[in-house]
């Protein structure tokens, strides 16, 4: 798997760095706090090689 390509694609489909509030990770997930969910292309992210899904938390 090309991790750099996957990272670039995620970055492009979440609205760029201006839309990232914070980032964290655990053993199996990358957790991003996004400023404006409307700028995210959930379908495109879910189709990125290596992405297992997208979850939006309320509040």
Catalytic residue among 21, 26, 38, 57: 26
Catalytic residue status for 26: yes
**Contact status, residue 14 vs residue 20, Cβ threshold 8 Å:** yes
Instruction: Measure the CA–CA gap between 19 and 52, rounded to whole angstroms.
Output: 21
Q: Cα separations (Å) of 16 from 19, 28, 40?
A: 6, 22, 9
Catalytic residues: 26
């Amino acid at each position: 798997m090309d991790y750099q390509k996957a990272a670039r694609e995620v970055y492009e489909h979440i609205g760029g760095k201006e839309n990232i509030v914070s980032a964290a990770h655990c053993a199996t997930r990358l957790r991003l706090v996004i400023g404006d969910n409307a700028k995210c292309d959930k379908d495109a992210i879910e189709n990125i090689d290596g992405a297992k899904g997208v979850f939006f938390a309320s509040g």
